Amino acid sequence: MKILVINGPNLNMLGIREREIYGERSYAELCAFIEGACAEEGAECSIFQSNHEGAIVDRIQAAFGTEDAIVINPAAYTHTSVAILDALRAVALPAVEVHLSRLAEREDFRRVSYTSLACEKTIDGLGFEGYRAAIRYLTRERKEK
Ligand code: DQA
């Protein structure tokens, strides 16, 4: 199984940005964690990060016919982007939304997620482990259903 993992704006600043919320570990450490979690499940993975909405839309479209599933942390675009929602719906691949922080415990505007409307599941508040849970869901639990 080929999994595309997409990380949205400012996630490249992990370890620097708001460490009390997002933790001390860097984006490079997150990528190594994701690669390890995919390897554990025997899945191939491709990781993409962008601060630009259109670039994320382009990468989702490029997954059509080449990748089997998507794990996406759209970051701030979660709460605003109809374009990313439409792209996820267009390719219609099984997708899971992940957030490092627990959205319900933060500002009210973070409670709205456009992108989750195209995802089978949303996992938040588990830090890096949320990515492992999303990968496991796509590689194991979903198949067992
Ligand atoms: C985030 C939560 C978003 O609200 C925020 O804009 C982010 C990161 C998370 O992983 O907790 O940039 O997606």
* pTM (whole model) above 0.85: yes
* CB-based contact 98:33 (threshold 8 Å): no
Q: Average pLDDT in the 50-55 region? A: 98
The CATH code that applies to domain 2-144 is 3.40.50.9100
Using the atom order of ligand 1, give the atom closest to the CA of residue 110: 4
Evaluate: CB of 57 within 6 angstroms of ligand 1.
Answer: no
Q: Average pLDDT in the 67-72 region? A: 98
What 8-state DSSP symbol labels residue 141? I
**Per-residue pLDDT for 66 more than 70?**
yes
Predicted confidence at residue 78, as pLDDT, reads: 98
Evaluate: CB of 76 within 6 angstroms of ligand 1.
Answer: yes
* CB-based contact 71:3 (threshold 8 Å): yes
DSSP string, 7-60: E-TTGGGTTTS-HHHH-S--HHHHHHHHHHHHHHTT-EEEEEE-S-HHHHHHHH
| Residue 7 in tokens | 């990380």
Q: What is the pLDDT of residues 75-129, one digit of tens each?
A: 999 999 999 999 999 999 999 999 999 999 999 999 999 999 999 999 999 999 9
